[in-house]
Copies of this chain bind each other. A is one copy, B any other.
Amino acid sequence: MVFSMEHISHSAAPTFDHDFQEEFATLLRWRRDVRRFKPDPLPEGSVEELLQLAALAPSVGNSQPWRFVRVENKASRRAIRDHFEACNADALNEYAGEKAKLYASLKLSGMDMAPTQIAVFCDRDTDLGLRLGLKTMPESLDYSVVMAIHTLWLAARAKGIGVGWVSILEPAEIKRQLDVPESWALVSYLCIGWPEEEHKDPELVRNGWQNRVNVNAFTTTR
């Protein structure tokens, strides 16, 4: 007699024990925005594996609006890095005195060294998901892409791979440089590689830019 096991394996939901929960909290504590990379390339297949995990992220209406553009072309990388430098110099003008000095001393992107660089877009015109959940809050589409990036970020850190998110870029310029469809909105430019160093505290905390605030200060009840 042959039994089908299908319905059994279907309902075999995993449970996660206390040790895993603690180790996951450790992962959250040691995830960093990495800006200092070793130049060594990542092992073959590791970026593909991270992208597969990223696609497990939630998305509104299951729209999967994430679009990943791996930037390999040297001229494109140079142009984007030059553009970052110009935007960053412009941003520096927003600060004066000690804050300007401090800003100028911060390293805000790892574009100079990161062996893997990925521009991540949201396809705001995607047909997938049939626009479920988008009528009142269309920005939820972009948010789905953010969760895919965050998933990739945590999965990378679990493998010892560092990720840095660069936002000091004009989206229009990156779209032009990478020649992507008009309906794609830039969400992030990611630098990925082996980190030169590991830290428990963000660079902005260590350098006195902005301390952490306990979340209790940001929580209210109605």
Contact = CB atoms under 8 A, between A and B. Distances in A.
A131 B218 CA distance: 18
Interface residues of A, number: 104
B168 A135 contact: yes
A216 B168 CA distance: 27
Contacts of A202: 62
A133 B14 CA distance: 39
A215 B99 contact: no
Nearest to A148: B215
Contact of A168 (B21, B136, B169): B136
A129 interface: yes
Contacts of A137: 167-169, 171, 186
Given A167-B140, A178-B222, A56 B69 contact: no
Interface of A: 10-11, 13-16, 20-21, 23-31, 33, 48, 51-58, 60-64, 66-73, 76, 87, 90-91, 94-95, 99, 103, 108, 128-137, 139-140, 142-143, 146-147, 150-151, 153-155, 157-160, 165, 167-171, 178-179, 186-188, 198-200, 202, 204-205, 209-216, 218-222
